[in-house]
Amino acid sequence: MAMSLSGLMITFLFICKNGLLVLPTSIVRCDATESTIFLTQKNGLRIEVTPLSSTYMSPTILLLAWKPAQPSSSSQLANMKALFTPASLTTFTVNNVSSQEDFRRLRVLLKFRKSNATK
């Protein structure tokens, strides 16, 4: 019962954050260069992120697993939260980006970064 309830809560939060963009921490913009990736939240906060190797890419969808490049605070509460939520996940599809070219460029940058990390 507890597992079902926690799964339902996680699914609801994921839909609110990524599907409906209701939460203030929902990602509304992604800017990428060869060296950095910046995500902008609905509340206006711009975060420099580091993509993780668990990022999933396909021709139509990109599930970007990321961590902030610099932790915002070193408090014990922030460290405890990072322990239980090791990565954030942002969903990009061909339909919710500004252009097909931007989506392709982001996929290429992530693919190139992954191949450099393995060398």
- 4 — pLDDT class (breaks 50, 70, 90): very high
Q: Taking residues 19-43, report their average pLDDT.
A: 83
Six token digits for residue 47: 């975060």
Write the pLDDT tens digit of every residue in 78-96. 555 555 555 688 888 877 7
Cβ proximity of 55 and 111 under 8 Å: no
Residues, the chain, total?
119
H helices, E strands: number in the chain: 3, 6
Locate the DSSP E strands across 1-119: 27-32, 37-41, 46-51, 56-57, 61-68, 88-93
% of the chain residues with pLDDT over 90: 5
Residue 77: pLDDT over 70: no
Q: Which of 28-32, 57-61, 76-80, 112-116 has the highest mean pLDDT?
A: 57-61
Instruction: Find the largest Cα–Cα distance for the chain.
Output: 46
Cβ-proximal residues to 115 (8 Å cutoff; 6+ apart), any chain: none
Residue 73: pLDDT over 60: no
Q: How far is Cα 39 from Cα 25, in angstroms, rounded to an integer?
A: 10
